[in-house]
Structure 1
Amino acid sequence: MAIHTVLIAVLAIYLLLLFSKKLSSAKVKLPPGPYGVPLVGYLPFLGRNIHRTFMELANIYGPIYKLPIGQKLFVLISSPALAKEVVRDQDITFANRNPTIAALAFSFGGKDIAFTPYGPDWRMLRRIFVQEMQSKGNLDAFYPLRRNEVKKSVRDVYGSSGTPVDVGLLAFVSVINMITSMFWGGTLQADNGAAINAQFRDAVSELLVIWGKPNISDFIPFLARFDIQGVERDMKRASRWIEQIFDVVIDQRIQTNNFLKRRGTKKDNTNKDFLGFLLEFKDDDTGKSLSRPQMKAFLADIVIGGTGTTSTAFVWTMAELMLHPEVMEKVQDELLEVVGAGNVVEEYHSYKLPYLQAVVKETLRLHPPAPVLLPRCPVETCTVGGYTIPKGAKVFLNAWAIQRDSQLWENPNNFEPERFLGDAKNLDFSGKEFHYIPFGSGRRICAGLRLGERMLMYTLSTFLHMFHWEVPDDQIPDTEEKFGIVLEKSTPLIGIPTPRLNNLKLYE
Structure 2
Amino acid sequence: MVSIVLEWLFPFPCVAMFTTLLMLIGGLLGYLYGPYWGLRKVPGPPTLPLVGHLPLLAKYGPDVFSLLAKQYGPIYRFHMGRQPLILVADPELCKEVGIKKFKDIPNRSIPSPISASPLHQKGLFFTRDSRWSTMRNTILSVYQPSHLASLVPTMQSFIESATQNLDTPNEDIIFSNLSLRLATDVIGEAAFGVNFGLSKPHSVCESIKSVSVNNVRNDDDEVSDFINQHIYSTTQLKMDLSGSFSIILGLLAPILQEPFRQILKRIPGTMDSKIESTNEKLSGPLDEIVKRRMEDKNRTSKNFLSLILNARESKKVSENVFSPDYISAVTYEHLLAGSATTAFTLSSIVYLVAGHREVEKKLLQEIDGFGPPDRIPTAQDLHDSFPYLDQVS
Same fold (TM over 0.5): yes
2:229 paired with 1:203: yes
Q: What's the offset of the Cα at 1:317?
A: 1.0
Q: What's the offset of the Cα at 1:145?
A: 3.5
Structure 1 residue aligned with 2:108, among 91, 97, 103? 97
2:334 paired with 1:302: yes
Q: Note the alpha carbon deviations across 1:394-427, whole angstroms, 9 max, x for none.
A: xxxxxxxxxxxxxxxxxxxxxxxxxxxxxxxxxx
CA distance in 2 between partners of 1:309 and 1:319 (Å)? 15
Instruction: Give me the CA root mean square deviation.
Output: 4.5
Counterparts in 2 of 1:172-321, with a 5 A limit?
Answer: 172-185=180-193, 192-193=218-219, 196-214=222-240, 215-218=247-250, 219-224=252-257, 225-227=259-261, 230=270, 232-257=272-297, 267=298, 269=300, 272-282=302-312, 287-289=317-319, 290-321=322-353
Structure 2 residue aligned with 1:108, among 94, 99, 119? 119
CA distance in 2 between partners of 1:108 and 1:297 (Å)? 6
CA distance in 2 between partners of 1:239 and 1:191 (Å)? 24
Q: What's the offset of the Cα at 1:112?
A: 1.6
Number of residue-to-residue matches in the alignment? 327
User: Normalising by structure 2, what TM-score?
Assistant: 0.66
Q: 1:242 to 1:79 in 2, by over 3 A?
A: closer
CA distance in 1 between partners of 2:190 and 2:147 (Å)? 10
Q: 1:156 to 1:256 in 2, by over 3 A?
A: farther
Q: What's the offset of the Cα at 1:114?
A: 0.9
Q: What's the offset of the Cα at 1:44?
A: 7.0
Q: Note the alpha carbon deviations across 1:116-173, whole angstroms, 9 max, x for none.
A: 12x33212222223x212223433444444333222212252543x752211111011
Q: 1:313 to 1:194 in 2, by over 3 A?
A: farther
Q: What's the offset of the Cα at 1:223?
A: 3.3
CA distance in 1 between partners of 2:389 and 2:27 (Å)? 52
Q: Secondary structure at the match of 2:164?
A: helix
Q: 1:59 to 1:312 in 2, by over 3 A?
A: closer
CA distance in 1 between partners of 2:285 and 2:40 (Å)? 47
Q: Note the alpha carbon deviations across 1:247-300, whole angstroms, 9 max, x for none.
A: 22222233443xxxxxxxxx375x932222222114988553432122112212
Aligned amino acid, residue 212 of structure 1: K
Higher relative contact order (CA 8 A, sep 6+): 1
CA distance in 1 between partners of 2:71 and 2:150 (Å)? 51
Q: What's the offset of the Cα at 1:238?
A: 2.3
Q: Secondary structure at the match of 1:139?
A: helix
Counterparts in 2 of 1:43-122, with a 5 A limit?
Answer: 45-48=55-58, 49=60, 72=82, 74=84, 95-106=106-117, 108=119, 110-117=121-128, 119-122=129-132
Aligned amino acid, residue 36 of structure 1: L
Structure 1 residue aligned with 2:161, among 152, 164, 167? 152
Q: Note the alpha carbon deviations across 1:42-68, whole angstroms, 9 max, x for none.
A: 477344256655776788899988788
Higher helix share: 2
CA distance in 2 between partners of 1:249 and 1:91 (Å)? 29
Q: Secondary structure at the match of 1:74?
A: strand
Higher strand share: 1
The match for 1:126 is: 136
Structure 1 residue aligned with 2:386, among 307, 328, 353? 353
CA distance in 1 between partners of 2:149 and 2:88 (Å)? 37
Unaligned runs of 5+ residues in structure 2 are: 1-17, 197-212, 241-246
Q: Secondary structure at the match of 1:155?
A: coil
Q: Secondary structure at the match of 2:125?
A: coil
Q: What's the offset of the Cα at 1:102?
A: 3.0
2:359 paired with 1:332: no
The match for 1:434 is: none
Q: Note the alpha carbon deviations across 1:431-456, whole angstroms, 9 max, x for none.
A: xxxxxxxxxxxxxxxxxxxxxxxxxx
